[in-house]
Chain A
């Protein structure tokens, strides 16, 4: 039981390049989330998927797109990376979208955009 896994763990991009961050969970959770963590700040929600087939914007969605590929997988895409997107990205999942459902986090991806 791996929980929430993320690939890659580290990535360096040049400005304007694109890439996709992958996330998968094996807990049969319905809801999945993408957060970013910047120095001196807490995590901020980028996008979330309450259930398979649905996605919604979070607090900081600009410059990102997401795909809920199936129940297990939720990917985050940067179409044209910018230095402001240098951050640590976390994927999380929960049983449902209810406020009381505990979110379980992946190990994070450290992304640097030069």
Chain B
């Protein structure tokens, strides 16, 4: 069984600053994938970034990057140069094994202030 834990229910960041959202996971599988999804007020789930566990290099997508610490089972999301449009719920998720069944954390609500 997989578990995903997000220990920060809410975070706040000023516009143009950097913020890091935390996520830890647990899985007994050696082959797995990790994701960050963004859910704005519109409810649409949007993929932010994806990390393959077998890749040591941290994934990056424009202003979004991850810090993947495999031994510590940690997968944090860093948002640089935060923008008002980044305000949303952010969900960390994992998938492992032979089927694409996502396991989600409980989410972190990010506020972006002027």
B52 CB to nearest A CB, Å: 6
Q: CB-CB < 8 A to A35: which residues of B?
A: 102
Complex Cα gap A94–B50 (Å): 14
Considering only CB atoms, which chain A residue lies closest to B50 in the complex?
Answer: A102
A43–B91 CB distance below 8 A: yes
B109 CB to nearest A CB, Å: 11
The interface of chain A, by Cβ under 8 A from chain B, is 31, 33, 35, 40-45, 48, 50, 56, 58-59, 88, 90, 92, 94, 96-105, 107-108, 110
CB within 8 Å for A104 and B101 given contacts A42-B91, A43-B91, A99-B96: no
Q: CB-CB < 8 A to A50: which residues of B?
A: 99
Q: CB-CB < 8 A to B62: which residues of A?
A: none
B99 CB to nearest A CB, Å: 5
Complex Cα gap A4–B59 (Å): 26
Q: CB-CB < 8 A to B32: which residues of A?
A: 99
The interface of chain B, by Cβ under 8 A from chain A, is 4, 31-33, 35, 37, 42-47, 50, 52, 91, 93, 95-107
A102–B43 CB distance below 8 A: no
- What are 19 A-to-B residue pairs whose CB atoms are below 8 Å? A33-B100, A40-B106, A41-B106, A42-B106, A43-B91, A43-B104, A56-B99, A59-B101, A90-B45, A97-B98, A97-B100, A99-B95, A99-B98, A102-B47, A105-B37, A107-B42, A107-B43, A108-B43, A110-B43
A42–B104 CB distance below 8 A: yes
A5 CB to nearest B CB, Å: 12
B101–A58 CB distance below 8 A: yes
Considering only CB atoms, which chain A residue lies closest to B107 in the complex?
Answer: A42
